[in-house]
Structure 1
Amino acid sequence: MPTIHLPIRQLVEFLLRTGSIDSRFTGFDRANEGARIHRRLQKAAGEGYAAEVFLTAKREMDGIAFALEGRADGIFTDEAGTIVIDEIKTTAIPTEEMQEDMNPCHWAQGMVYGAIYAQQNGLEQLDVRLTYYQIDTDEITRYTRHFTAGELEEFLCGLLRQYVPWAQRQLTWADARSASLQALRFPFPAYRPGQRALAGEIYRACAAGKTEHKGGTRLFCQAPTGIGKTMSALFPALKAIGEGKGVKLFYLTARNTTQAAAEDALQRLHAGVPGLALRSVTLTAKEKACLCKDADGHPSCLPEVCPYAKGYFDRVKDALASLLDGTPQFSRAALEETARQFTVCPFELGLDLSAWCDVVIGDYNYLFDPVVRLHRFFDSAGDWLFLIDEAHNLPDRARAMYSAQFSKSSLTEAKRALGKGKSPLKAALTRADKGFLETRKQTAEQGGTAFLQELPAELLKPLHALQAPLQDWLEQNPDAEAHAQLLDLYFAVQDITRAAERYDEHFVTQLSAYGSDLTLQLLCLDPSAFVDASLACGRAAALFSATLTPPGYYRSVLGCPDARAVALESPFPQEHLGLYCLPGISTRYKDREASIPAVSDALAALAGGKVGNYLAFFPSYAYLRAVWEDFSARYPAIPTLVQESGLDDGARAAFLARFAPDPEQTLLGFGVMGGIFGEGVDLVGDRLIGCAIVGVGLPQVNPRQEILRRYYDEHSGSGFDYAYRYPGMNKVLQAAGRVIRTAEDKGVVLLLDDRFARSEYTRLFPRHWRHLKYLKGTEQLKEELATFW
């Protein structure tokens, strides 16, 4: 008999949840806040109160076996000797407005737990109690209902009977998917060199799963650009799922371009196997997916404003059924079309659809960010497979996810926006602002920047106190002109107070005084424990990139000290890459002004080797601009293109469009290492035939980088490497990887800095750089280029 594994909360909410999406300003912290309150109430209940009781049961309905599971908040025996199932809920609804039947899902959850517990313990009757905790007043309201075991069992069976059509849909799809994936074949006539090795490593990691590592198998793969990493990762992971080694695949990326690559790879699999039963959904950030934004461009998730939020839960099942009966690939465009057809929120529709999909494509934050992560999957461990693309980006992204900042100016501006008059909110803002003003004076006296190992309690206490009056004002003034501004303030306060709860020895506090402002930052220096905990939610994780050198650094920073790490050889002919270095140039900060003419001459020699498109990458915009001005003045016959800071998607596309195939004249682009053109850009063939790397890419020396250096000096003795050298060389290797994208590409890479000849840097070079030539000057470079071309 086929079996459906079904969390009890999922069953109840899917069938019984009605009404509208209403995010208000409660933010994303409700789950964490609720968990804290649950623990407090459970502890206060006393010794006879069993908290977080895990319950499992099997039931059969219409030929389908249901494996149910969930956690009852509490089970205890009351004074009359009756067993009571306690369901705890937090609410912002004022106590006087509460009603016993205000949410049928709450009663249903407790009743299902009651049915299971009564059956397992031979009880004829028991009680279900709802405990509501009012978060603003700390008031507790309780409702209790009495049930016979028969009534509870009948209720549970009724729910399962309603769910049967959906379960049957799920089982039919699972059978088709299993057969499809078992028959799946690699969608190309042959593997490229290195592809089979990469696919084999990922398959073995997925197959091993939890048996190898209690937190799931971890694998780091460094594979050269152009090897076809996306397909080499997706294909073996899907084969593993087809063999029952994993139930859902999460393909997580740092940028939209790699999401598109995953979508294209899946499209190719579908094209190669007509009728392939494989559903995938691409999750898009709410800000981009939203169909109803306010005047400032923010999503308006209020039922009285947004028709897609109003009545969402009344229509979403029809929208889901329509999607599930159609095409199996759900892009942003497909979700938007269905959202308009059924008047439902496309962002929430994507999240709800993900439960029915085999592959979920999205940003890193859907797994790693403590606020945005997909709680429906990752609040407990599951048989998930994680593919982490462009994993060299994850250390910095993870640090940012667990850090937070708050500025005094947001308090001052909020007081100004409220105008004249007194109010509890204005008083709370004044108290918080006063604390920041005092600290700003002290920080300014200390030179403008201060670092603390501990939390600044004198700043955080008034911010905690600000939340309740701020929430009250937002509730009472939904149409006020200042609403959007104070809503942003509310989220900023939530962000910094949440970070404070995570704060431990892996963090540092930075205070920065600028003029009349003070910025408080809680900085996560070491995200390894958080990343490890996130990866432990799944069966296996493969983290891959063209640049994961040295592997020990990435394993350490990402909490995977025992992970297997493999580095694959480049599949491309070595003679297709001309690799040269001019070690007579220093691009250190103190030498930059003096180096400008020499760098310009080297770039002119590079661009003069052959007509074509070139890119030169610099460590900063200031250095870029200085060299460009000199180059343009001295070599006006060579057209140039300069990357400006803060380019939007359209400007980025326009910049890349200048790198056209079959150019009739040379173009030299000036870009920044680590920027939007330094990685994730695919200029195939003669759209790019050479690049220059000016400097070793070290991050700018500043107080924050120095704190990071000191932290890792204390923990591993490798502070300079972790804070500067490894991140810098990562930018260098990523930029150099723009040149050779396919087996047919041919091009040159020019390194400009004397440090590229030193052992502490050469040991970080990939193996396919063994033929690097060190040259004495531009004349020898011209000779080598003439020979190469």
Structure 2
Amino acid sequence: MYRIKDNIIKISVRNLVEFILRSGDLDNRVAGGADTDAMREGSKIHRMLQKQMGSNYDAEVPLSIEVPLMQDGHEIMVQVEGRADGIIHCEETSFNTMDTELLKPGIVIDEIKGVYQELSFIKEPIRVHMAQAKCYAYIYSNQNDLDRIGVRMTYCNMDTKAVKYFEEEYDYIDLKKWFDELIQEFGKWVIWQYKWIQTRNETIRGLEFPFEYRSGQKQLVTDVYRTIIRNKKVYIEAPTGVGKTISTVFPAVKAMGEELTSKIFYLTAKTITRTVAEETYRILANHGLNMKVVTITAKDKICVLDKIDCNPVACEHAKGHYDRVNDAVYDLLTNEGDITRDLIVSYAAKYKVCPFEMSLDVTLWADSIICDYNYAFDPNVYLRRFFVNEKKNDYTFLIDEAHNLVDRAREMYSAQIFKDHILECKRIIKGKSHKLEKKLEICNKDLLKLKRECDDFEVVDNINEVVLHLLGLASEYDEFLQEFKAFDEREKVLQLYFDVRHFLNIFELLDEKYVIYNDYDETEGFRIRLQCMDPSTNLLRCLEKGRSAVFFSATLLPIDYYKYQLGGVKEDYAIYTPSPFDTRNRLIMIAKDVSTKYTRRSEEEYQRILEYIFTFAKAKTGNYLAFFPSYQMMNQVFSLLEGQMEEKENGEFVINDKENMETSLEIVIQRSNMTELQKEEFLDSFTVNPSVIRMGFCVMGGIFSEGIDLKQDRLIGAVIVGTGLPMVCNERELFRNYFEERTSKGFEYAYLYNGMNKVLQSAGRVIRTMDDKGAILLLDDRFLNKQYQSLFPREWYPNTTVDRFSMEDILKEFWVQEELEDNYV
């Protein structure tokens, strides 16, 4: 929101009034996307209206004022700045009202707001909008010695371009009193943060790296720090065990202590990696660091209701939320150190405010924010309080498991509309609004026409007519949702509204890195989709709002591909950090006589895969995981075990083969749509010092293939069944053709890199700490091809080519050597 530097605080007029003067309820019954969409289009509306004004109208006038603030013995200068949309120079005229002569102001401040809301519903200016205009009026009056000034609020409908005005007049004395009170209320936050930053920076300056540096780790820490100093981006491939989290967090914290960065965003896709980040900050706290760190918990996991329904009728925490939330946040900040989820829930209950929205407000004052990628990059849910404008800030982005961001970003910047969803909403609102029904019917006809021209999959060049009709639908939607705040199945109607708005917003981003196509979704039917093929431009636009970005992953190969897709430029850095592990503690084998190619899949091949898995596991009693390329193949292989095993009450399976195994073999299998409890139970079954062989059947790219930490003998081996290549489908072929034209690497971009990343992540579950020892078996003869081996990380050498018979002897030798070394130690 603002930054303190050299005892001067700079804050925008908008941020000031929106923070101090907000009030009222949380209410999801009002179309929440409208205002944020309006902000994106607002500059166009501003320019349109400003051009219509005459020569007495000055547009985009910069205004600022410095106000000294003294509290608790500290003096700070508050600099409030912004741009008035317009200043109107009027002729001063006198007129009589009840025998009193008044002077019409010669200056009027014009504040323009673009809205999607039907203007007839706006009965008076929105409080924070008028407050913004009043701030500009005060600053201008102060600088020009005016005793009186006018204010005009101009609301313009984004779709119809209709305009509505509200006008007020103010005496300078009244404006000054109002503005001084505003600054004084803001002052308590400023002074708290000023003192807090001094305390924080003092602890950072005395902070030392909390561990003895591993091989290559000190250089990694130095490289990250230099990247932040130089305002660059860096892409780091660092194998498991290097200590990526502490090696990126520590230098970012040190840069904060030097006031090079004001906020650290730790961004990730997985809950488990967020937990690792939290633990890293706790380790630093135990070594003297004093920082405010907050993790954003998903709304559905922190909501006080069983089912989210954010409005004052359904939730007492939503009623008057904005009247109380600032007090709740201030109480939390001034009385607590480590800001945990439980603390946020506790203070939210104390003040009866929404815990999720409160956590977002806490981020304004936190030094570091741990959250999902979405909060920085997704155009629908990003943290607008930090990224709403094009202004560059001194934020540092730490992006964990960065390989996941490519596909996530493609999805964030894509959009789709389903024909059946339009028909369903038409059915729901039937009889409520003839106008909206008509708009829905027009859009349905557009998609029906496209559907008739599409047998299976069709790339489309021009959808301008569809977009024009969707704009009309969105406009009518706004009026409908204002009038009808409660009816059956309103959620479905509202969801289509959000989908349409998102579609229109993404359409504005369309360039050569997009493809438009029609096809048939398996469950939702016919759709039109705006597919982001290459997210680099959109990601770069977000990253440029910060100072520096650090991308890191154990699997960022080939690094040039990820650098290109993740918004890298020529001047950015790419780093490989060598693994600190002793290669003797890890055995990597490639089977030369088995394949998972579609042309080779058969019961005979699946039986061979099973033999490999059991031979691999029976070499040593312990815990293992076998990763398959799909649920379908996993279940087909598993079905071959029918009659050889018995099912236990807890859903596990047991095979007793006393002739070939010293102990029984227990199998647990990953199911689709597992609950959090089921996931925990699955992982908890992999115990320390197991007395039986335990084999988990899992899916590559699934919940157990990355992010889980089964350290030491909780996991001693992994079997990777196949190369992980995505299934051939229309969308994948679209990617292949697109990148073949541009890079001549269509297969690599669409299939190979994605598949090998899944393989590397799955294999990475085995070695988690410096003391781990384990074996990895790659089951597919394609792993012997140069095309695949070129993507092997350096630590995968040396490796051994095996068949079912030679593998058994090699494993025995590996585990015997491991036992000898353990006994020697």
1:92-107 equivalent positions in 2, closer than 5 A: 95-96=119-120, 98-100=122-124, 102-107=125-130
Tell me the SS of whatever aligns to 1:502: coil
Question: Equivalents in 1 of 2:579, 2:667: separation in Å?
Answer: 31
1:235 match: 250
Tell me the SS of whatever aligns to 1:560: coil
2:292 match: 279
Which of residues 142, 160, 164 is equivalent to 1:141?
164
Give the conservation status (yes or no) of the 8 Å contact 2:23–2:322.
yes
Structure 1 residues 58 and 558, CA gap change in structure 2 (3 angstroms) = same
Q: Deviations over 1:444-496 (max 9, x none)?
A: 3xxx11122x3423443333322233333333333311212212222222222
Tell me the SS of whatever aligns to 1:443: coil
Q: Deviations over 1:163-207 (max 9, x none)?
A: 22221111111111111111122233x123333222222111122
Question: Equivalents in 1 of 2:221, 2:432: separation in Å?
Answer: 67
1:289-304 equivalent positions in 2, closer than 5 A: 289-292=302-305, 297=307, 299-304=308-313
Q: How many corresponding residue pairs?
A: 769
2:492 match: 485
1:318-717 equivalent positions in 2, closer than 5 A: 318-378=327-387, 379=389, 380-418=391-429, 423-444=434-455, 448-452=456-460, 454-513=461-520, 517-562=525-570, 563-593=572-602, 594-631=604-641, 636-637=655-656, 638-717=665-744
Give the conservation status (yes or no) of the 8 Å contact 1:418–1:482.
no
Q: C-alpha displacement at 1:721, in angstroms? A: 1.2
Q: Match of 1:437, as an amino acid?
A: L
TM-score (norm 2): 0.89
Which of residues 196, 200, 217 is equivalent to 2:218?
196
Structure 1 residues 434 and 39, CA gap change in structure 2 (3 angstroms) = closer
2:660 match: none
Give the conservation status (yes or no) of the 8 Å contact 1:659–1:688.
yes
**Relative to structure 2, which stretch is displaced further, 400-409 or 735-744?**
400-409
Structure 1 residues 760 and 307, CA gap change in structure 2 (3 angstroms) = same
Q: Deviations over 1:94-145 (max 9, x none)?
A: 6455444x43322221222233344556666543321122457643222333
Q: Match of 1:84, as an amino acid?
A: V
Question: Equivalents in 2 of 1:79, 1:598: separation in Å?
Answer: 92
Q: C-alpha displacement at 1:262, in angstroms? A: 1.1
Give the conservation status (yes or no) of the 8 Å contact 1:89–1:131.
yes
Q: Deviations over 1:611-657 (max 9, x none)?
A: 11111111111111222222566784333222122222222222212
Q: Confirm or deny that 1:187 pairs with 2:210.
A: yes
Q: Confirm or deny that 1:309 pairs with 2:318.
A: yes
Structure 2: which 5+ residue stretches go unaligned? Answer: 1-5, 93-104, 646-654, 657-664, 816-825
1:72-221 equivalent positions in 2, closer than 5 A: 72-78=84-90, 82-91=106-115, 95-96=119-120, 98-100=122-124, 102-120=125-143, 126-134=149-157, 138-147=161-170, 152-188=175-211, 190-209=212-231, 217-221=232-236
Give the conservation status (yes or no) of the 8 Å contact 1:440–1:517.
no
Tell me the SS of whatever aligns to 2:539: helix
Question: Equivalents in 2 of 1:50, 1:351: separation in Å?
Answer: 37
Question: Equivalents in 1 of 2:209, 2:313: separation in Å?
Answer: 50
Q: Confirm or deny that 1:7 pairs with 2:12.
A: yes
Q: Deviations over 1:234-274 (max 9, x none)?
A: 1111011001111111111101111111111112222232x
Q: Confirm or deny that 1:44 pairs with 2:49.
A: yes
Q: Match of 1:469, as an amino acid?
A: E
1:783 match: 809
**Relative to structure 2, which stretch is displaced further, 76-85 or 695-704?**
76-85
Question: Equivalents in 1 of 2:119, 2:716: separation in Å?
Answer: 69
Question: Equivalents in 2 of 1:647, 1:97: separation in Å?
Answer: 46
Structure 1 residues 45 and 332, CA gap change in structure 2 (3 angstroms) = same
Q: C-alpha displacement at 1:754, in angstroms? A: 1.6
Structure 1 residues 95 and 630, CA gap change in structure 2 (3 angstroms) = closer
Structure 1 residues 177 and 422, CA gap change in structure 2 (3 angstroms) = closer
Structure 1 residues 529 and 572, CA gap change in structure 2 (3 angstroms) = same
**Relative to structure 2, which stretch is displaced further, 539-548 or 655-664?**
655-664
Q: C-alpha displacement at 1:147, in angstroms? A: 4.5
Tell me the SS of whatever aligns to 1:277: coil
Question: Equivalents in 2 of 1:704, 1:93: separation in Å?
Answer: 37
Give the conservation status (yes or no) of the 8 Å contact 2:108–2:150.
yes
Tell me the SS of whatever aligns to 1:681: coil
Structure 1: which 5+ residue stretches go unaligned? Answer: 210-216
Superposed CA RMSD: 2.3
Tell me the SS of whatever aligns to 2:335: coil
**Relative to structure 2, which stretch is displaced further, 120-129 or 481-490?**
120-129
Question: Equivalents in 2 of 1:748, 1:692: separation in Å?
Answer: 9
Structure 1 residues 633 and 424, CA gap change in structure 2 (3 angstroms) = same
Question: Equivalents in 1 of 2:432, 2:80: separation in Å?
Answer: 56
Q: C-alpha displacement at 1:538, in angstroms? A: 0.6
Question: Equivalents in 2 of 1:401, 1:67: separation in Å?
Answer: 36
Q: Confirm or deny that 1:248 pairs with 2:255.
A: no
Q: C-alpha displacement at 1:90, in angstroms? A: 3.6
Q: C-alpha displacement at 1:153, in angstroms? A: 4.5
Q: Match of 1:284, as an amino acid?
A: T
Give the conservation status (yes or no) of the 8 Å contact 2:31–2:494.
no
Give the conservation status (yes or no) of the 8 Å contact 1:61–1:157.
no
Give the conservation status (yes or no) of the 8 Å contact 1:173–1:277.
no
Question: Equivalents in 2 of 1:514, 1:144: separation in Å?
Answer: 52
Percent identity between the two aligned chains? 38
Which of residues 50, 65, 72 is equivalent to 2:77?
65
1:213 match: none
Question: Equivalents in 2 of 1:25, 1:421: separation in Å?
Answer: 17
Q: C-alpha displacement at 1:341, in angstroms? A: 1.0
Give the conservation status (yes or no) of the 8 Å contact 2:705–2:758.
yes
Q: C-alpha displacement at 1:550, in angstroms? A: 1.0
Structure 1 residues 730 and 599, CA gap change in structure 2 (3 angstroms) = same
Q: C-alpha displacement at 1:230, in angstroms? A: 1.4
Question: Equivalents in 2 of 1:394, 1:242: separation in Å?
Answer: 29
Question: Equivalents in 2 of 1:120, 1:344: separation in Å?
Answer: 40
Q: Deviations over 1:705-749 (max 9, x none)?
A: 111112112222222111111111111111110000011111000
Give the conservation status (yes or no) of the 8 Å contact 2:31–2:481.
no
Give the conservation status (yes or no) of the 8 Å contact 1:586–1:753.
yes
Q: Deviations over 1:651-704 (max 9, x none)?
A: 222221221221111111111111111111111111111001111111111111
Give the conservation status (yes or no) of the 8 Å contact 1:474–1:486.
no
Structure 1 residues 421 and 9, CA gap change in structure 2 (3 angstroms) = closer
